[in-house]
Structure 1
Amino acid sequence: MTHPVRFHPSIEQIKPDEAETIRGLEEQFDSIQETTAKDYKSGVRAVHAKAHGIAIGRLTVAAGLPPELAQGIFSHPASFDAVIRISTNAGDVLDDAIALPRGLALKVMDVAGERLPGSENETSQDFIMVNGPVFAAPNAAAFLKNLKLLSKTTDVAEGGKKLLSSVLQGVNAALSAVGYESPTIQQMGGAPQVHPLGETYYTQTPFRYGDYIAKLSLAPVAPALTSLTDVKIDVKDRPDALREDVSRDMIEHGGRWELRVQLNTDLDKMPVEDPTIEWSEEESPFVTVATLDIEPQISWQHGTSDRQDDALSFNICRGTTSHQPLGNVNRARNDTYRRSTAFRAQVNGCPMHDPRKPQDIAAE
């Protein structure tokens, strides 16, 4: 039997240039947000700017979990209010014809436990996920290089982006046909134009999982959702096609997802410091620790949802120490994400409040 690796601070390898890289990331985030603020006359996120849906649900931790899975906020059976935000990863608000990876941020509200630095006065546990198992850059320095390229395209004419996306989707489809996935091509606009509610989402980067180390995923299990897996969205002449289709299906049936954990069983095969390496599911499969249920509801209503989206923020470092983000990429994301949130709050004149209950979101 393969045993999970126990967490110890020594598993992280701090790079000597991390502070300099973080400053570079902050500069690029600032550049993207300053550009988009001028264009939209309001502040939007430096990444995942466009939301396709916001929905409130309930996360229920499974009973009878084995000791290695009964960790952190999943240490005992419990039920929490939760909210999800579905998005696209660009820092500008684009026509949905431009095919980019989808994101899903999950906020679990009012959790107990010792807090991570910077979130001592908050009570949520945030998990930020993307519909692919690996990150596009092996470290923060490479992430900075990618971000510099994306920053240069932030204010480029949308027509050119649509044309490039169309070409890259064809390239990505050809690569996928021979069993190769390119996160880089997908980030540039070649991602499959699939329905967000049918996708499985991954943290991509590793986290502490109580005494252990893990990655997490959120997978659709309700038949109404799994029937949408790999279903292509018709985006022709529909700039907000994803928002419209997500809204329709949320109203019709809501959904159920499973939150799953993949424990690290070998630090050589499952490195903490390189999120481009996929952890083998044969070595360590994802195992369900909780279910997320979302009742049928309106997931986007112009006016109300826009205000809620402006007031919400998600950060991988908002949570308990038992789910501490690990690795160079995660360490670089903490300060940059908080900086992005502060920029939005300042530009929009809308202070960020970490919600303790669903009513706090509805009241925004």
Structure 2
Amino acid sequence: MLTRPIPRLVQAATERLAPMIRRFDPYYRDAFDDLVRPYIEEVAQALLRRRLRDRGQVIAEELIRADEEEVTRRIADSMSRFLVGEYQETGKTAERAGNTKTYGLVRASFTVRGDLPRRLQVGAFQAGRQYSAYVRFGGPGPRVVPDIEDAGILSIGIKLMGLPGHKLMADEKSTMDLTGISSPAFTTPDIWENVKLQKQIGLGTPAWYFVNPLDSHVLDMIMQGLYARAHANPLELTYHSCVPYRYGRERGRDRAIKFAVIPRLTRRSRITEFTDNYLREAMVRSLAREPAVFDFAIQFQADPVRMPIEDASIVWSERESPFIPVATLEIPTQRFDFAAQDAFARNLTYNPWHTLAVHRPLGNQNRARRDIYLRTSRVRQAINQERHIEPTGKENFGSDVVSLSETGEHAPRKATEPVS
């Protein structure tokens, strides 16, 4: 194709310039984020909202298109092909196709507030209920690269354990997964745009998706750029669901929420050196001396048009619907940099459909994730000759074999160095 040299040049320039620019982030970025970012975001969001349309939808209502299954299949095909091409018969250990690099998998407790009002006590969120959890902090990918060369949008995956009740996915019986990224808007507004991005990733030119003058996504690029930066520590970021979820019913009507995982910070860390794995190293240091505590907060959909279910690029207004803290995520001091623990993190399957019906994932991106995440996780595990395991929280990581202490079984693992 005659236009391919231009996308390749754009990609090469992006890969060269972005890490250089991020090296200056420690000198100015905190002040920029506090003072300037809110105004740029407000303008970008106002422009993005111009494409919203009132189709007569109501709160928590999904609008499903006829071609959705086909588009989901195309995305899953593209991501699976990437995994096979990148890892099959290459001698490399297969990682996730997205949220690829693992900074660390840590143990945590997730405690619902004891004073939670009755109207907010839904499903997993019963006043005073506590769950053990595994929390995975990761980078965007699609490849494992030095931290400063990654895209600067980090991810969190929280897997609650010991949750009773029928789940929407049958491969895990007692878990609930909560996932988010460090931007309040997702990379693409919907799966129809996401399939375009996946195509460019397959061609090696993802930057072209955003700047192609014939099909521009500059506003989405601006939203990601406002939150993409050289972070100091994954434990100090706010993570956003970006996509909505059902939150039971009230007065006979479904309710929809987004959620955020918000750190209780007393101070911000500073970057001392840009090593290849400095984010993991920062987590190791901080969890050796003090716990990390987050508030888990929900935000109700207050308007079905201005707070859309099907467009993940729109940030729901906190003025119209403030976040409400409903639980606390506490990560105690610990050591987590064991080879077996890193391998276990790679093999865990996070999927928003590991949940109860009252917390059903909503919107086209969430509906697609059910099949995409399941399929790509199984491809990854097949390449690595590993099997899916539902964790209990009682695993022992003190050797090259993960001991499932509850059953006395052992899960075979390839001997491996820490993955990040």
TM-score, normalising length from structure 2? 0.72
Q: Is the 8 A contact 2:288 2:335 kept in 1?
A: yes
**Counterparts in 2 of 1:16 and 1:144: CA distance versus 1, 3 Å:** same
Aligned-residue offset at 1:71: 1.3
Aligned to 2:166: 114
**Counterparts in 2 of 1:183 and 1:308: CA distance versus 1, 3 Å:** farther
Residue in structure 2 matching 1:355, options 363, 366, 391: 391
Aligned to 1:275: 312
**Counterparts in 2 of 1:216 and 1:9: CA distance versus 1, 3 Å:** closer
Asked which structure has the greater CA Rg, the reply is 2
**Counterparts in 2 of 1:240 and 1:315: CA distance versus 1, 3 Å:** same
Distance 2:220 2:337 in 1: 28
Aligned to 1:152: 203
**Counterparts in 2 of 1:120 and 1:310: CA distance versus 1, 3 Å:** closer
Aligned-residue offset at 1:188: 8.6
**Counterparts in 2 of 1:186 and 1:207: CA distance versus 1, 3 Å:** same
Aligned counterparts, 1:228-307, within 5 A: 228=269, 231-232=270-271, 234-235=273-274, 238-301=275-338, 303-307=339-343
Corresponding letter in the other structure for 1:218: V
Corresponding letter in the other structure for 1:107: K
Distance 2:71 2:395 in 1: 39
Aligned to 2:415: none
Distance 1:341 1:189 in 2: 30
Aligned to 2:180: 129
Helix, strand or coil for the counterpart of 2:395?
A: helix
Corresponding letter in the other structure for 1:79: Q
Corresponding letter in the other structure for 2:69: A
Corresponding letter in the other structure for 1:11: E
Helix, strand or coil for the counterpart of 2:118?
A: coil
Aligned to 1:22: 72
**Counterparts in 2 of 1:198 and 1:9: CA distance versus 1, 3 Å:** closer
Residue in structure 2 matching 1:198, options 228, 236, 241: 236
Aligned to 1:214: 257
Distance 2:119 2:219 in 1: 33
Q: Deviations over 1:19-52 (max 9, x none)?
A: 1101110111112211221445222111111100
Task: For structure 1, list consecutive stretches of 5 or more residues without a partner in the other structure.
Answer: 1-6, 169-180
Q: Is the 8 A contact 1:126 1:317 kept in 2?
A: yes
Distance 1:310 1:264 in 2: 34
Identify the structure with bigger relative contact order (alpha carbons < 8 Å, sequence gap 6+): 1
Aligned-residue offset at 1:110: 1.3
Distance 1:65 1:22 in 2: 37
Percent of matched pairs sharing the same residue: 27
Helix, strand or coil for the counterpart of 2:124?
A: helix
Aligned to 2:358: 322
Task: For structure 2, list consecutive stretches of 5 or more residues without a partner in the other structure.
Answer: 1-56, 212-217, 250-254, 404-410, 412-420
Corresponding letter in the other structure for 2:243: T
Helix, strand or coil for the counterpart of 1:283?
A: coil
The reply to whether residue 346 of structure 1 matches residue 397 of structure 2 is no
Helix, strand or coil for the counterpart of 2:156?
A: strand
**Counterparts in 2 of 1:187 and 1:90: CA distance versus 1, 3 Å:** farther
Corresponding letter in the other structure for 2:295: E
Corresponding letter in the other structure for 1:215: K
Q: Is the 8 A contact 2:158 2:177 kept in 1?
A: yes
Corresponding letter in the other structure for 1:200: T
Aligned-residue offset at 1:357: 2.6
Q: Which moved more, 1:200-209 or 1:350-359?
A: 350-359
**Counterparts in 2 of 1:30 and 1:207: CA distance versus 1, 3 Å:** same
Distance 1:42 1:248 in 2: 26
Aligned to 1:311: 347
Distance 1:89 1:252 in 2: 27
Q: Which moved more, 1:46-55 or 1:30-39?
A: 30-39
Divergent runs of 4+, >4 A: 7-10, 185-190
Corresponding letter in the other structure for 1:75: Q
Distance 1:67 1:134 in 2: 30
Helix, strand or coil for the counterpart of 1:85?
A: strand
Corresponding letter in the other structure for 1:115: K
Q: Which moved more, 1:185-194 or 1:60-69?
A: 185-194
Q: Is the 8 A contact 2:58 2:304 kept in 1?
A: no
Q: CA RMSD in A?
A: 2.7
Corresponding letter in the other structure for 2:370: N
Helix, strand or coil for the counterpart of 1:42?
A: coil
Residue in structure 1 matching 2:268, options 203, 227, 236: 227
Q: Is the 8 A contact 1:193 1:233 kept in 2?
A: no
Corresponding letter in the other structure for 1:316: P
Aligned length: 328
Helix, strand or coil for the counterpart of 1:289?
A: strand
Q: Which moved more, 1:90-99 or 1:39-48?
A: 39-48
Q: Which moved more, 1:354-363 or 1:18-27?
A: 354-363
The reply to whether residue 104 of structure 1 matches residue 152 of structure 2 is no
